[in-house]
Amino acid sequence: MDYLGEIKMKLMSYFTSDSVPATGLSSTIDIWESDGTQVVTGASMTEVDGGFYFYEFSSYDDTKDYSFRADGGATLGDDERYVATTNDLNQVTTLVKELRFGNQKMVFTLATETNLTRNVDVGMLDYQTMYIKADSASDWSDPTSTKTLYFWYNSAKKLIYSKESDE
């Protein structure tokens, strides 16, 4: 079964303006290989909703290490304009397990057992879930919307694919 199709990696970024999810941005992304070669320059990102934007990195090579920097645009303050990371999610997600803002919460779940189908080992990022509730005062036990993004890795444990499901 070929999970990859035409898209090899979907990169997601989250932007805020004055700590509120930023919508309607003209966000772009730059991507570098670990040797400093810039392989994507100022590519447009697609708005999802609620401050989330994505870029489909179709030339992703799972044998290479990359650095990514998303730019929300000049309308954002310098402290909220840029989001940067690498494709080594194991190092990043051990630092942050959950992000909350108002009526939105994103939870990062590390694997507690090996999943051979998706090549996930114990301690690796297994999936992330976005919860949205009616308003910031509502209880988190009954969200109005839940979306989960599952991750697949190659034999070198680099992220190669993600797939969303609604719950």
In terms of domains, do 2 and 80 share one? yes
Res 4: pLDDT: 39
3-state helix, strand, coil in the chain (%, to 5): 5, 50, 45
In terms of domains, do 48 and 73 share one? yes
75 against 125, higher pLDDT: 75
CB-count burial class (<10 Å; 0-12, 13-18, 19+) for 157: middle
In terms of domains, do 102 and 119 share one? yes
Domain stops at, among 56, 87, 118: 87
DSSP secondary-structure letter at 162? E
Domain containing residue 144: 88-167
Res 93: pLDDT: 42
In terms of domains, do 93 and 110 share one? yes
For the chain, how many structural domains are there in total? 2
1 against 12, higher pLDDT: 12
In terms of domains, do 43 and 114 share one? no
- Using the predicted structure, report yes or no on whether residue 92 has a pLDDT greater than 70: no
Q: Average pLDDT in the 155-166 region?
A: 77
26 against 149, higher pLDDT: 26
Res 104: pLDDT: 80
In terms of domains, do 2 and 83 share one? yes
In terms of domains, do 58 and 132 share one? no
CA separation for the pair 54, 77 (Å, rounded)? 20
In terms of domains, do 47 and 81 share one? yes
Res 144: pLDDT: 85
In terms of domains, do 83 and 41 share one? yes
In terms of domains, do 81 and 43 share one? yes
76 against 151, higher pLDDT: 76
Predicted confidence (pLDDT) per residue in 97-144, tens digit: 666 777 787 787 777 778 888 888 877 778 888 888 887 777 777 888
Predicted confidence (pLDDT) per residue in 8-63, tens digit: 677 888 888 888 889 999 999 999 988 889 999 999 999 988 888 888 888 887 67
In terms of domains, do 67 and 147 share one? no
CA separation for the pair 69, 13 (Å, rounded)? 9
CA separation for the pair 93, 42 (Å, rounded)? 26
167, 147 contact by CB (below 8 A): yes
